[in-house]
Amino acid sequence: MPNFFTDNEDLKFHFNRFDLREILEIQEDSYTQKNDFDFAPENYEDAMINLEKTLELIGDISGNKIAERAASVDEEGAHFKDGVVTYAKGTIQNLKELAQADLTGMILPRKYGGLNAPITIYMAAAEIMARADGGLTNIFGLQDIADMIKKYGTEEQKAKYIPKFSTGEHTGAMALTEPDAGSDLQACKLRASQDENGQWRLNGMKRFITNGNGNVHLVLSRTEAGTKDGRGLSMLACYNDDTVVVRRIENKLGIHGSPTCELQYNNTPAELIGNRRFGLIKYTIDLMFRARLGVAAQALGISQAAYEEALKYSKEREQFGKTIYEIPAVKNILLDIRVLLETGRSVLYDTAKLVDLKEKLEGKLEELKAAGESTKEIGDRLKELTKVANLLTPILKYITTEAANKITYDAIQIHGGTGYMKEFPVERFARDARITNIYEGTSQLQIVAAIGGVINDILKDDFDKKAAKTYSGGLERLNGFLKEIREIFYESLKYVVDRKDSVFQEVAAKDLVELYSYIYTGYLVLEEAEELPRKKFIANRYIVTSLANAKKNAESIKNELFSDLLHANEILI
Amino acid sequence: MYNSIVMVKQVPDTANISGKVMKEDGTVNRAKLPAIFNHEDKEALELALQVKQKYGGTVSVITMGPPRASDMLKECFYMGADKAYLISDRKFAGSDTLATSYVLSEAIKYVGKFDFVFAGRQAIDGDTAQVGPQTAEKLNFSQVTYVEEIEYIENNIARIKRKIDGGQEIVDAQLPVLLTCIKSTTEPRPFSAKKIMKYKNAKTLLDLEKMANDNSLLYLDELVIEYKDKNLYIETLSTSDLSDIDETRIGLHGSPTKVHKVESVVLSGGDATKIEPTTEGIGALIDELLNDHILG
């Protein structure tokens, strides 16, 4: 009877230190929803009990049901026949149970049948579920489509689209990518135009659409004929009716439970969500940021699964008269995996809480605006929060998804030849993890998204404050190492800026972002180590390793190898 | 519209039996084992909930057990039960299947009229599979055992698929009927998060008594009213509520079954014996099997 929440000490550690007071106060309308909904909480403590029980439920379903079906879902995959997409049998049962458990509307308002859970808890749910089945998390996470409509749609649109997500009757799809608009979404061509009755109609293609068979699509469309950039794009919602043709589904390396579709819209009736021309610059950015958070949670869940398998196998497998767990080189790999896992989790929940608060304040700002009240205070806070969220989200996605690839790779390594075989689940984890550092923006694009904040050193005050603190229990030494990493960072940054060479800057960005992430993550784990003695080992191993890595990053910035770019054509024959 | 009541039981997690959990009188010391929802009773509840979903009506659950059985009754709410009854009294202690089915049948008659009584085939602690059929007899209901599925209900007749050796049997049963259920094709539904949030603080009379005893500012009658108002009261019945009950038929006294001894038998393979295909060889084998009481 494994419960993927209650058996995860580290996740429970984070849950118990979540301070969601401000977030829940806004989310729960100062706990007044009790009058209308008998399952709404009475106060903060009651809300936290509800959320804990919700995670226990997800942990139970994930550990006992979803995980049991994951291998068959992977083996069977989604089907495509005569234009119709059908999920694998296990996926159908999973989705049915998630609906019965009220989890398909986890973050949606109670008014529309949802549970009204905060994003931080939603991310914990995604992590738990991904440990059982990486691909399922995608379909679960597409309740974000309904959440977008909640944020930007009209009252009428909300009442029309959201309730069926809550009941599980509908799933969603986010239709952004096109054959010629992948990382560069500004190039989107799918046309939206109004017919003689003013009805919007969609015409064109979308590709690589996760769950493109879903019932409600948010489609990034060119509403402004003749434009070529992002400012001519709007977001439209439509039903997946007869005018939407699934042309094919992709045959993928991993996440087989999650169908990836090529779609053709043929005069599909649609309606505008929010304002025209804001499709890319506001709504897609918003959707993508949230999705990046979700992918990080997914990557972490897969990493947890791989770690569990690797640890278990190492303790069972005997070679040379002892378990391989007792072989120092093997144990050392496990230690590295564990540190990557726990530090990734620290960054996930720190970022999730920040994004959560940011979104709650955005909602409050709109309310104040509507009531004609002053928004100055919240506006100022939001500006600051947004800046930090825009830095941390790509850093989070970059480090957790790269870590997931490393962890699943090492988990196979610990299994040896056995891990290469389909009988053991680690090869599936490696295949499922492989997409996480590609979709919702590749790692390279996360670097691009983060580098501005890194160059502007926007966490400076935060770092200064943390560096000035005195850490007890022998942790001061680690603070010293983090200060040293900061010096290395500033030195490297100055070196890059002084070169005034944009090509060099682009190549060096990866090292700079990594350097910055060591400092940020390092202080997170240092604080945790003050709360929980066991975390000292994690903090020590992370920070000591990071110092060594920082020296390597600095060296790779200064080693002039970037000049090879000038000779690339001679080298890359 | 059909009203159902499901007989459920909290059982010791026999998969995790360890140490000295048997009492001298041969009964199980339940307090020493983790308690879980008997699996086949959960299947029974699922079937009852499906009847409600398809045809309307209500689903009640009833259990005879110690105070901590309220945890399982809450789980019934989490799955979708409308009403729960705990029958609890020290006088019931030591009841065998005969006494238990007597109490359950009396309690079911007391709480209402039902079209269906559902039960699991058997509980994993006793494995007798007797309580369901005995209850049906005492209620004077028809009964179908080993039920996998209810195909449909029409004109007060339920068409039921039951498992038999080597296949399935389809039977029609006149309502009211008692069904004992085994693992069906539809897995028991997961808990609903909303119902967990709603019913997490539900209490039995015994829970409320404890609250009142532990805190001199709380009064039992006020607590009962409060919890009834909030729809969080689990109906609790004892012998004093079931006034017609014959006390000589309950508890250890009302139970003719006596457990002589329970032991843990570990089956293990021993050395292989070669038996010659001769009259002597086969004769020796038969004698050995007779001596071990495997034959005869």
pLDDT digit string, tens, across residues A265-274: 999 999 999 9
Does the beta-carbon distance from A57 to B193 stay under 8 Å? yes
CA distances from B246 to B66, B91, B105, B280 (A): 20, 12, 12, 61
Contact partners, residue B235, CB within 8 Å, separation at least 6: B83, B84, B85, B86, B111
Any CB–CB contact under 8 A between A40 and chain B?
yes
Contact partners, residue B250, CB within 8 Å, separation at least 6: B91, B92, B95, B99, B102, B103, B239
pLDDT bin (cut points 50, 70, 90) of residue A88 is: very high
pLDDT bin (cut points 50, 70, 90) of residue B30 is: low
B18 secondary structure, DSSP code: -
Q: What is the pLDDT of residues B50-59, one digit of tens each?
A: 999 999 999 9
Residue with tokens 């296949």: B167
How far apart are the C-alpha atoms of A205 and A411, rounded to whole Å? 39
Interaxial angle between packed helices B70-79 and B39-55, expressed in degrees from 0 to 180 and rounded to the nearest 10: 40
Any CB–CB contact under 8 A between B200 and chain A?
yes
How far apart are the C-alpha atoms of B190 and B193, rounded to whole Å? 9
How far apart are the C-alpha atoms of B195 and B231, rounded to whole Å? 12
CA distances from A379 to A88, A351, A365 (A): 47, 20, 7
Does the beta-carbon distance from A39 to B190 stay under 8 Å? no
Judged against a pLDDT cut of 70, whether residue B19 lies above it is answered with no
Residue with tokens 């029409």: B154
> Taking residues B106-115, what's their average pLDDT?
94
* Per-domain boundaries in chain B: 4-249
Q: What is the pLDDT of residues A432-465, one digit of tens each?
A: 999 999 999 999 999 999 999 999 999 999 999 9
Of the candidates B187, B191, B231, which has its C-beta nearest A101's C-beta?
Answer: B191
Residue B157 pairs with which residues in a beta bridge? B154, B174
**A172-277 has which CATH code?**
2.40.110.10
CA distances from A73 to A89, A232, A258, A302 (A): 7, 40, 9, 15
Taking CB atoms and an 8 Å cutoff, what residues of chain A touch B231? 38
What pLDDT was estimated at residue B259? 78
Closest Cα in chain B to A101: B192
> Taking residues A188-198, what's their average pLDDT?
95
- CB A192 within 8 Å of CB A236: yes
Complex ipTM, two decimals?
0.93
DSSP string for residues in A436-484 = TTTTTS-HHHHHHHHHHHHHTTTTHHHHHHHHHSPPTTTTHHHHHHHHH
What pLDDT was estimated at residue B2? 96
Name the average pLDDT for chain A.
96
Q: Which residues of A36-45 are buried (b: 16+ CB within 10 A; e: fewer)?
A: eeebbbeeee
Any CB–CB contact under 8 A between B186 and chain A?
no
CA distances from A314 to A329, A338, A412, A430, A469 (A): 12, 14, 11, 18, 40
Q: What is the pLDDT of residues B162-208, one digit of tens each?
A: 999 999 999 999 999 999 999 887 889 999 999 999 999 999 999 99
Does the beta-carbon distance from B196 to A60 stay under 8 Å? no
Higher pLDDT, B262 or A403: A403
* Per-domain boundaries in chain A: 1-141, 172-277, 279-456, 459-571
What pLDDT was estimated at residue B185? 76
How far apart are the C-alpha atoms of A109 and A325, rounded to whole Å? 48
Taking CB atoms and an 8 Å cutoff, what residues of chain A touch B194? 39, 102, 115
What pLDDT was estimated at residue A447? 97
Query: Which helix or strand (DSSP H or E) is residue A116 part of?
Result: none
Using CB atoms and an 8 Å cut-off, which of residues 59-78 of chain A contact chain B?
Answer: 60-61, 65
Does the beta-carbon distance from B189 to A100 stay under 8 Å? yes
How many residues does the structure list for chain B? Answer: 296
Residue with tokens 């090869």: A427
> Taking residues A276-295, what's their average pLDDT?
93
Does the beta-carbon distance from A54 to B194 stay under 8 Å? no
pLDDT bin (cut points 50, 70, 90) of residue A494 is: very high
What pLDDT was estimated at residue B193? 98
Closest Cα in chain A to B15: A1
Among B89, B90, B92, which residue's Cα sits nearest to residue B100?
Answer: B92
- CB A449 within 8 Å of CB A515: no
How far apart are the C-alpha atoms of A238 and A271, rounded to whole Å? 7
What pLDDT was estimated at residue B20? 61
Please tell me the class of the A1-141 domain. Answer: mainly alpha
- CB B199 within 8 Å of CB B230: no
Among A215, A391, A400, which residue's Cα sits nearest to residue A303?
Answer: A400
> Taking residues B264-275, what's their average pLDDT?
78
Neighbour tally for B261: CB within 10 Å = 6
The tokens of B220 are what? 């039992």
Mutate to test the interface with A, among B191, B200, B227 (most CBs of A within 10 A): B191
Contact partners, residue A8, CB within 8 Å, separation at least 6: A59, A128, A304
Judged against a pLDDT cut of 70, whether residue B123 lies above it is answered with yes
Taking CB atoms and an 8 Å cutoff, what residues of chain B touch A103? 193
**pTM of the complete model:** 0.92
| CATH T-level topology, domain A279-456 | Butyryl-CoA Dehydrogenase, subunit A; domain 3 (1.20.140)
Mutate to test the interface with B, among A100, A128, A129 (most CBs of B within 10 A): A100
Mutate to test the interface with A, among B77, B194, B232 (most CBs of A within 10 A): B194
- CB B186 within 8 Å of CB B46: yes
Judged against a pLDDT cut of 70, whether residue B26 lies above it is answered with no
Name the average pLDDT for chain B.
89
Q: What is the pLDDT of residues A334-363, one digit of tens each?
A: 999 999 999 999 999 999 999 999 999 999
Any CB–CB contact under 8 A between B256 and chain A?
no
Q: What is the maximum span of chain A, computed from C-alpha positions, in angstroms?
A: 81
How far apart are the C-alpha atoms of A525 and A342, rounded to whole Å? 9
Residue B234 pairs with which residues in a beta bridge? B204
- CB B236 within 8 Å of CB B224: no
How far apart are the C-alpha atoms of A525 and A464, rounded to whole Å? 16
Among B268, B266, B252, B270, which residue's Cα sits nearest to residue B17?
Answer: B266
Of A43-47, A334-338, B12-16, B184-188, where does mean pLDDT reach its minimum?
B12-16
Q: Strand B157-164: give its sheet, edge to edge.
A: B167-174, B157-164, B142-154, B177-181, B116-120, B4-7, B59-64, B83-87, B233-237, B203-204
Strands A318-319 and A322-323, bridge-based pairing:
antiparallel
Q: What is the pLDDT of residues B89-109, one digit of tens each?
A: 888 888 888 889 999 999 999
Any CB–CB contact under 8 A between B194 and chain A?
yes
Terminal CA-to-CA distance of chain A, rounded, Å? 56
> Taking residues A410-428, what's their average pLDDT?
97
Which stretches of B155-240 are assigned E, i.e. beta strand?
A: 157-164, 167-174, 177-181, 203-204, 233-237
Residue with tokens 């309502």: B175
SS3 letters across B107-169: HHHHHCCCCEEEEECCCCCCCCCCHHHHHHHHHCCEEEEEEEEEEEEECCEEEEEEEECCEEE
Closest Cα in chain B, distance from residue A356 (Å): 21
| CATH T-level topology, domain B4-249 | Rossmann fold (3.40.50)
For domain A459-571, is the CATH number 1.20.120? Answer: yes
How far apart are the C-alpha atoms of B275 and B269, rounded to whole Å? 17
